[in-house]
Amino acid sequence: MVSLNINGQSHEIDVSPDTPLLWALRDVLGMTGTKFGCGIAQCGACTVHVDGQPLRSCMLAVSAIGARKITTIEGIGATPVGAKVQKAWLDLEVVQCGYCQSGQIMSAAALLVSNPNPSDADIDAAMAGNICRCGTYVRIRAAIKKAANVA
Amino acid sequence: MSSTSEPSDLSRRDLLKSSAAGLLLYSFHLPVAQAAAASFAPNAFIRIAGDGQITLVMPQVEMGQGVYTSIAMIMAEELDADFPKLMLEHAPPDEAHYANPMLGVQATGNSNSIRAFWKPLRTAGATTRAMLVAAAAQQWGVDPAACSTAASQVIHGASGRKLGYGALAARAAGLKPPANVPLKDPKKFTLIGKPLKRFDTPEKVNGKAVYGIDAMPPGVKFAALASCPTFGGKLGPVDDSKAKAIPGVRQVVVLDDLVAVVGDNQWAAQKGLAALAITWNDGANANVDSALIWNDIRQASTKKGATAKAIGDADKGLRDGDRLEAAYELPFLAHATMEPLNCTVHITPAGCEVWIGTQIMARVQSTVAKTLGLPPEKVTVHQHLLGGGFGRRLEPDMAVKAARIAQHVDGPVKVVYSREEDVQQDVYRPIYRHLFAASLKDAKINGWTHRITGSSVVARWLPAAYTHDVDFDAVDSAVDMPYGIPHFRVEYVRREPPAVPTGFWRGVGPNSNVFAIESFMDELARKAGKDPVDFRISLLDKTPRLKSAVQLAAQKSGWGQALPARTGRGICAQVAFASFIATVCEAEVDENGNVKLRRVLSVVDTGIAVNPDTVIAQIQGGLIFGLTAALHGEVTIAKGRVQQSNFNDYRMLRINDVPNIEVHVVKSGEAPGGIGEAGATAGPPALGNALYAATGIRLRRLPIDREVLAGRKQA
């Protein structure tokens, strides 16, 4: 059994210890907001926070997490920065197909926690690991700035 | 649907029919209440319950293009519905009611959702509204002409009486739908033309949106699969002893061309798959490689093709003037939707259930039914949001594979492709070769011939539409050139590439043609000694909407103003999907041939922009999609296999590669054009022309070759 703290709740799951967090979330806990995109940490669709750090859950074994706190897209709206990011995403209609956007929002929220007023270069550096095939990048940049400017 | 004097019978019958097809089983956006017996369903698209809830059935699928919102806007506009309170529902598989009028099948593609459904959905809304007005007038004993409608209510202005659509549903259901109901004067539109918020965004920012890959029927098991990596090959012996020893692995399914491992979760299945010792029988295509395929198409392109369009005497026209010839080539491309291919299937004694996000619901139903030897009505298809389509989900192959695997599994099984499998088991954007010859006389084009050689996706996908040896899609935007050319001929040579399956890819025919034509137009402008913008404008008298767009794009982009060294601007002017678009790209090339995009600007005349914010978003995203292909996109073949596998070797543009993109939407009263693919076709030629302006090097192949741009290799 592996114990995980996800969005403030404790979960005991019975999976092999090398199981990536992505599949534990999706297939064992039914939390499907975190997406599978590439399996090799190239696209960022599976981004979650572990103690506030944005990590790719497709290559993060559940046994490596320990007592650290996991936040997923289902829980990020409960944080002040997460709520601001989601609102900016809505206000600017960032989303198209939406499949990558859980990961985009998780990366953006982590950026704004560590850097409340990012420049374009800061945004590009922090978000370069998240691919959007629909090409919503221009709006992602604008939405992060909008979220940053909301007091 | 037909009317009847018994309203309750009508709604009950429709309800049953809908339930049988799965219509009420899966809803989108909000839970759908079971429609009350008195609900009013005058057509296949609109249902009004006694409690006033209006449900709109979506005949086209949502894959990011915003079509659910635009389609709802079109219906709600004529219906005068209270827009924010609408509920939306995926249509069931049902060719009779939901076939795309421009394609003749139930499919979403070719950027034609709005064009195809503009009139039918306005009519559906207006007719429903007229019946509600008639019901209210009957109830009040007043003249229908004295009634108006707003926010899902009928209003009798003289008396101040109002009735909600729900209260009128039962009475309206008893009325005969009137014919030829007048549509609104576009000047009176209150929804169409406004940048309304999308219905699907809220659940896409909080993780609640449900895509096909998120389907979780009770008891579902998870499968990873490997199909023969060599096209057309078969599975040889498989040793599954190590796989079966892995905890969580339940079953290994061995079929003639693929093997799947079923597990308690996707990780267990993937580990099991990796632990199999598989021998493949590569078959006849084991020696096919890119060089062979390119030689084949180059050879095929030397022969005359079927004439797709002729004006004047092209051969004579070519003899009169300064002649220029060029050949352009485009590579195979994979789709790489962010949501990898997947399908969940449950086969029961009663039939089969399928959970999927697809651009072709009815074809998925019929193809799975055929695979399983079931009548189509025994196959229920639950449609989901699509994590990208781009043409890949115009095919049913992933559903067929999932159904074949599910035949051996007790209970529901979700088959999820790895990214590598997704890239290597695609249907690829065909390679194309374009041969041009043109003559210039007085700095204008006198003669023009264009021979397009490549696979016909249409001949396989919609055989009835492939006539006279011409693929209408493969020559789209080439036969209907916006420029005035007196002597003109376009030919098409169908050539299927050895081994490699081909499919539709965002931008379809225009994607290849606009790149080739707009690049060659630039060459002609240079040969004529004219500025590329001036040259195009001088030939656009017959296409004033495009001419205006080019003029505006030149003005807004600062066309002609000085730029730093190794930096250039390029223009693309296109008519594609009935939209008129001018695009200017500004790019910089370093000494190693690396390209930096500095700025991209498009002026878009798409007629009436149903939701202008969606138009902007689609052009922004489409430009990036096309520029991604121009800068990085190429699938190559060795030993009958695709060499690319994941985002490390099939690269995408990332946020740090992308400059600001400005989109100006021209206000217009013309009928709406298509927009979902138009940006994808505009980016590559604008970039190629910018690179020529920056370096003097003309790139006639995609993707761009950095070695050529660095001057280390011949173009």
Confidence (pLDDT) at A151: 54
Q: With residue B351 as reference, give the H or E element that holds it.
A: strand B351-356
- Looking at the structure, do residues B86 and B222 belong to the same domain, yes or no? no
pLDDT tens profile B360-404? 999 999 999 999 999 999 999 999 999 999 999 999 999 999 999
In a domain? residue B715: no
- HSE toward the beta carbon, residue B682, CA cutoff 13 A: 35
CA distances for B158 relative to B210, B256, B510, angstroms: 48, 74, 55
Contact B626, B565 (CB under 8 A): no
Q: Considering only CA atoms, which of B87, B95, B82 is closest in space to residue B132?
A: B82
- Looking at the structure, do residues B36 and B111 belong to the same domain, yes or no? yes
Residue A125 at interface with chain B, using a CB cutoff of 8 Å: yes
pLDDT tens profile B114-134? 999 999 999 999 999 999 999
Contact B532, B570 (CB under 8 A): yes
In a domain? residue B219: yes
In a domain? residue B205: no
Confidence (pLDDT) at B107: 98
β-strands B413-416, B221-227 pairing: parallel
Q: Can you tell me the ipTM of this complex?
A: 0.98
Confidence (pLDDT) at B715: 83
In a domain? residue B73: yes
Contact B46, B173 (CB under 8 A): no
Domain edge (last residue) among B416, B450, B466 = B416
Domain edge (last residue) among B198, B223, B257 = B198
Closest residue to B247, CB basis, from A16, A98, A130: A16
Rounded to a whole number of angstroms, the distance from the CA of A123 to the nearest CA of chain B is 8
- Looking at the structure, do residues B226 and B276 belong to the same domain, yes or no? yes
Closest residue to B222, CB basis, from A27, A93, A123: A27
Residue of B nearest to A48 (CA): B207
| B655 contacts A128? CB cut-off 8 A | yes
| B624 contacts A101? CB cut-off 8 A | no
Annotate A106-144 with b (16+ C-beta within 10 A) or e (fewer). bbbbbbbbeeeebeeeebbebbebbbbbbbbbbbbbbbb
**A148, two tokens:** 């940053």
From the candidates A16, A120, A134, A145, which should be mutated to test the interface with B, based on the most B CB atoms within 10 A?
A134
Cα–Cα dist B305/B321, whole Å: 24
- Fold that domain A2-75 belongs to in CATH: Ubiquitin-like (UB roll) (3.10.20)
Cα–Cα dist A54/A58, whole Å: 12
- Looking at the structure, do residues B530 and B580 belong to the same domain, yes or no? yes
| B197 contacts A96? CB cut-off 8 A | no
Chain A residues within an 8 Å CB radius of B423: none
Phi–psi pair at B585, nearest 5 degrees: -115, 140
- Looking at the structure, do residues B141 and B160 belong to the same domain, yes or no? yes
- Looking at the structure, do residues B278 and B297 belong to the same domain, yes or no? no
- Looking at the structure, do residues B464 and B444 belong to the same domain, yes or no? yes
Cα–Cα dist B110/B561, whole Å: 37
Cα–Cα dist B68/B75, whole Å: 11
Rounded to a whole number of angstroms, the distance from the CA of B178 to the nearest CA of chain A is 38
In a domain? residue B203: no
Cα–Cα dist B177/B4, whole Å: 10
Beta bridge pairs of residue B637: B642
Contact B714, B342 (CB under 8 A): no
In a domain? residue B449: yes
- Looking at the structure, do residues B372 and B473 belong to the same domain, yes or no? no
Residues in chain A where the model's pLDDT stays below 50: none
Q: Looking at the domain that runs over A77-149, which CATH code has it been given?
A: 1.10.150.120
- Looking at the structure, do residues B302 and B408 belong to the same domain, yes or no? no
Sign of CA dihedral A72, A78, A82, A86: positive
Confidence (pLDDT) at B507: 98
DSSP assignment string, B419-453: HHHHHHT--BBPPEEEEEEEEEETTEEEEEEEEEE
Find residues 22-81 of chain A whose CB sits inside 8 Å of chain B: 23-24, 26-28, 30-40, 42-43, 45, 72-74, 77
Cα–Cα dist B554/B541, whole Å: 17
- Looking at the structure, do residues B168 and B258 belong to the same domain, yes or no? no
Contact B52, B166 (CB under 8 A): yes
Cα–Cα dist A83/A74, whole Å: 11
Confidence (pLDDT) at B15: 33
Q: Where are the domains of chain A?
A: 2-75, 77-149
- Looking at the structure, do residues B268 and B371 belong to the same domain, yes or no? yes
Cα–Cα dist B57/B45, whole Å: 5
CATH at residue B472: 3.30.365.10
- Which amino acid is located at B10 in the chain? L
Domain edge (last residue) among B198, B231, B259 = B198
- Looking at the structure, do residues B142 and B265 belong to the same domain, yes or no? no
Residues in chain B where the model's pLDDT stays below 70: 1-38
Question: What residues contact residue B663 under an 8 Å CB cut-off, 6+ apart?
Answer: B601, B602, B604, B615, B616, B619, B620
- Left, alpha or beta for B72 (phi > 0: left; psi -120 to 50: alpha)? alpha
Find residues 585-624 of chain B whose CB sits inside 8 Å of chain A: 613-614, 617-618, 620-624
Query: What string of H, E and C letters represents the secondary structure of chain A?
Result: CEEEEECCEEEEECCCCCCEHHHHHHHHCCCCCCCCCCCCCCCCCCEEEECCEEEEHHHCEHHHCCCCEEECHHHHCCCHHHHHHHHHHHHCCCCCCCCCHHHHHHHHHHHHHHCCCCCHHHHHHHHCCCCCCCCCHHHHHHHHHHHHHCC
Please give the model's pTM, rounded to 2 decimal places. Answer: 0.95
Structural domain span for residue B251: 212-283+341-416
Domain count along chain B: 3
